[in-house]
Amino acid sequence: MLATTGTGRSHPAGQLLAELIAADGRTKVELWLHPGDAPRLELVQYHWGSGVGWYVQQRLALDADQAASLKAALAGVSLSPAPASRPRAEVDGNVIRLLFGQ
């Protein structure tokens, strides 16, 4: 699962819009906006290496049309995990029995 951190951090080449950190903390993706005559979004994937720290694994640049198409493609998508099924429960006084697989 990815956690989103909106940072708004700036760099001479653009503005950091989000930092998406994987649940295991060993990979992350940064989303950069590069304004100008030909604005583009850039996704930069990092991996964590012991003794090295964060290093760039790959970069993907999207022009304005590609970014709009990606936004439209993701508009109705939900990546939330399916809810966990709960076992049935029986209550007898102060005793609760969980009935798994029944």
Q: Between these two residues, 81 and 71, which has the higher pLDDT value?
A: 71
Within 13 Å and on the Cβ side, how many CA atoms surround 4? 5
Residue 61 · residue 41 · CB < 8 Å: yes
pTM of model > 0.85 = no
Q: Which of these ranges, 15-19, 33-37, 83-87, 96-100, has the smallest mean pLDDT?
A: 83-87
Residue 42 · residue 58 · CB < 8 Å: no
Residue 13: the pLDDT is 74
Q: What is the pLDDT of residues 33-78, one digit of tens each?
A: 999 899 999 999 999 999 999 999 999 999 999 999 999 998 988 8
Count how many domains the chain has. Answer: 1
Residue 5: the pLDDT is 47
> What average pLDDT is seen over the chain?
85
- Kindly calculate the radius of gyration of the chain based on its CA atoms and give it in whole angstroms: 21
For the cut 80, the answer to whether the pLDDT of residue 1 exceeds it is no
Residue 15 · residue 23 · CB < 8 Å: no
How many residues in total does the chain contain? 102
Range of the domain at 81: 2-99
Amino acid at 30: E
- Measured CA to CA, the distance from residue 65 to residue 73 in angstroms comes to 12
